[in-house]
């Protein structure tokens, strides 16, 4: 490939020195996320340090019509960081400063490259924490950009609820603050929520003000095995309908349990399981746990096992968080093909059972795992991308799964985003809505330089 954007790269080099990289290894590292989507290298990678630097970088790129692709930690699932039209990968990892924490207000402001674990390590002794936990140690910028969630969204919400305000660099280099630090506001259009979930296509998120939560007095976790998927799912539905404020309520089917046992050296029985967590005061946690244990028992739950201490609890959730890696490890050289539908909870049992039937027709093992308290679940096949027939079969399965979810009033992605993989499904889900999204994209990024080709096609 002949060098492109040479003038832009020269200007960027003058600005950033050796924080502008064009070495093949660096470009390859920025060519893909954790998904099966084909890698696509950027022409250069900028390691930015500050919001004003991002602004200058974007201005240079705009002058030279060079695409700008923000890069957090590259753990996403729909090929969002892959530079499908080349251009500049803007790596946020050096923007890793925690700018302020207010324990009184239970909020903090961080640079976009700070990761969720880094933030929680920092907060450790202050009695507050940041709940949202995608399995990976993702950047908070990437999490905001994908509207991420994770195991405890059922209690604490997603990045939609967690972000109080952003500082964003727009396609023309303008620096925009989207909101004050107030907990609630009716001041104009909700720019914060417009950028949360925009996957780098409307601007680069540089600073984030986040809502934090008090560390609960008591935390208690448990696992429970079920004879049937149905029993497990119905326990979840009844628990939510009772109004029990579950902190976590995760489903793993028997294939997923098998993958976890192998990858994380656990020995759960090869049955569908719920992994649960309760937060509150001691008495309140006990009461919640009793209620849920009773509901689970009525639905055929057994082997209700409490984790006795913090280490056991951490190990439990680490095993759950590693599920995608555990699925991948089931085969050699496999890539993760993660599906991600979310349906109204009244349809969840039906949707999961139909999907389980469908999986029986598939040539490869496909674990089901889910944040089922929200109606969100994943099927995570480990894909041999060199096997065309297998890829075709999994893609056809994926298509059926999404159609099923949409027919039930659900969405084609609960938390991973659209990226390059789900643009057609977004159109199927919200045909008129996509037209409005295009108008907004056109207005804010008329040359389509911000992560072009992702989410929507102009």
Residue 243 exposure: Cα atoms within 13 Å on the Cβ side: 0
Structure tokens at 257: 């349990």
The answer for residues whose C-beta is within 8 angstroms of residue 415's C-beta and 6 or more apart is: 134, 146, 147, 148, 149, 150, 153, 158, 340, 342, 371, 376
Distance of CA 41 to the CA centre of its chain: 22
Does position 193 interact with a copy of itself (CB under 8 A)? The reply is yes
Residue 197 near residue 417 (C-beta atoms within 8 A): yes
Shortest Å distance, C-beta 276 to ligand FAD:
16
Question: Residues 281-300 vs a copy of itself: string with x where CB under 8 A?
Answer: x-xx--x-------------
DSSP one-letter string for 426-437: HHHH-HHHHHHH
Residue 13's CB is within 10 A of a number of other CB atoms, namely 16
By CB under 8 A, is residue 184 in contact with a copy of itself?
yes
Q: Determine, following the binding rule CB under 8 A, whether residue 416 of this chain makes contact with a copy of itself.
A: yes
* C-alpha–C-alpha distance, residues 274 and 266, integer Å: 15
Choose the stretch contacting ligand FAD; rule: CB under 6 A; options: 67-75, 263-271, 302-310, 387-395.
67-75
Residue 75 interacting entry, from ligand FAD, a copy of itself, none, C-beta within 5 to 8 Å by type: ligand FAD
| Footprint (CB under 6 A) of ligand FAD, residues 147-206 | 148-150, 199-200, 204-205
Q: CB of 379: closest distance to a copy of itself in angstroms?
A: 16
Positive or negative, the CA dihedral 143, 144, 149, 155 is positive
* Token pair listed for 443: 């207005």
Cβ closest to a copy of itself, residue 237 vs residue 255 = 237
- Comparison of 48 and 408: residue with beta carbon closer to ligand FAD: 48
Interface stretch with ligand FAD, choices 11-19, 101-109, 144-152, 212-220 (CB under 6 A): 144-152
Query: Which of a copy of itself, ligand FAD, none lies near 76, with the C-beta cut-off 5 to 8 A by kind?
Result: ligand FAD
Q: How far is CA 197 from CA 152, 310, 413, in A?
A: 18, 33, 11
Tokens of 273: 């399981």
Binding to ligand FAD by CB under 6 A, coded x per residue (else -) over 31-50, reads: --xx----------------
Q: Tell which positions 126-145 bind a copy of itself, by CB under 8 A.
A: none
The site for a copy of itself, by CB under 8 A, has a size of: 91
The entry of a copy of itself, ligand FAD, none that residue 287 binds, CB within 5 to 8 Å by partner kind: a copy of itself
Residue 351 binds to ligand FAD (criterion: CB under 6 A): no
Q: Is residue 418 involved in binding ligand FAD (CB under 6 A)?
A: no
User: Half-sphere exposure (CA, 13 Å, Cβ side) for 350?
Assistant: 11
* DSSP letters spanning 216-280: PSEEEEEEEEESSHHHHHHHHHHHHHTT---SEEEEE-HHHHHHHHHHHT----SS-EEEEEEEE
CA distances from 449 to 60, 73, 88, 184, 268 (A): 12, 21, 10, 33, 49
Distance CA 224, CA 232 (A): 9
**204 near a copy of itself, rule: CB under 8 A:** no
Binding mask 90-129 for ligand FAD (x = CB under 6 A): --x-------------------x-----------------
Taking the least distance from each CB to a copy of itself, the nearer of 126 and 266 is 126
- Residue ranges in contact with ligand FAD by CB under 6 A: 33-34, 69-77, 80-81, 92, 112, 134-136, 138-139, 141-143, 145-146, 148-150, 199-200, 204-205, 324-325, 415-416, 451, 454
């Amino acid at each position: 490939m002949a060098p492109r954007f040479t003038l832009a790269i020269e200007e960027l080099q003058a600005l950033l020195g050796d924080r502008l990289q064009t070495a093949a290894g660096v470009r390859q590292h920025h060519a893909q996320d954790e998904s099966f989507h084909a890698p696509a290298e950027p022409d250069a990678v900028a390691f930015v340090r500050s919001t004003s630097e991002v602004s200058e970088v974007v201005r240079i790129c705009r002058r030279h019509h060079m695409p700008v692709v923000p890069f957090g930690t590259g753990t996403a699932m729909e090929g969002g960081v892959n530079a499908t039209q080349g251009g500049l990968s803007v790596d946020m990892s050096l923007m890793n400063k925690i700018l302020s924490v207010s324990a009184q207000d239970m909020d903090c402001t961080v640079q976009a490259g700070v990761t969720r674990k880094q933030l929680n390590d920092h907060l450790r002794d202050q009695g507050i924490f940041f709940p949202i936990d995608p399995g990976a140690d993702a950047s908070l910028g990437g999490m905001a950009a994908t509207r991420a969630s994770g195991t405890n969204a059922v209690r604490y919400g997603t990045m939609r609820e967690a972000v109080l305000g952003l500082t964003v660099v727009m396609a023309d280099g303008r620096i925009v603050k989207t909101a004050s630090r107030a907990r609630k506001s009716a001041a104009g259009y909700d720019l914060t929520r417009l950028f949360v979930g925009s996957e780098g296509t409307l601007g680069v998120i540089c600073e984030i003000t986040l809502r934090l939560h008090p560390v609960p007095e008591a935390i208690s976790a448990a696992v429970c095995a079920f004879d049937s998927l149905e029993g497990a799912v119905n326990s979840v539905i009844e628990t939510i309908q009772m109004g029990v404020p579950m902190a976590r309520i995760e489903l793993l089917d028997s294939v997923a349990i098998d993958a976890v046992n192998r990858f994380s050296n656990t020995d759960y029985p090869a049955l569908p399981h719920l992994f649960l967590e309760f937060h509150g005061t001691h008495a309140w946690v006990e009461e919640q746990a009793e209620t849920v244990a009773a509901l689970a028992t009525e639905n055929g739950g057994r082997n209700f096992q409490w984790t006795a201490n913090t280490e056991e609890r951490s190990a439990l959730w680490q095993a759950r968080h590693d599920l995608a890696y555990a699925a991948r490890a089931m085969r050699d050289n496999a890539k993760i093909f993660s599906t991600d539908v979310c349906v109204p909870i009244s349809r969840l049992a039906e949707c999961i059972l139909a999907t389980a039937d469908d999986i029986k027709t598939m040539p490869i093992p496909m674990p089901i795992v889910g944040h089922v308290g929200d109606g969100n679940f994943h099927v995570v096949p480990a894909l041999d991308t060199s096997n065309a027939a297998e890829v075709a079969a999994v893609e056809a399965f994926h298509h059926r799964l999404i159609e099923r979810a949409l027919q039930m009033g659900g969405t084609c992605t609960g938390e991973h985003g659209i990226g390059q993989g789900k643009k057609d499904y977004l159109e199927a889900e919200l045909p008129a809505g996509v037209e409005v999204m295009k108008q907004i994209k056109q207005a804010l990024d008329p040359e389509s330089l911000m992560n072009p080709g992702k989410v929507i096609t102009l």
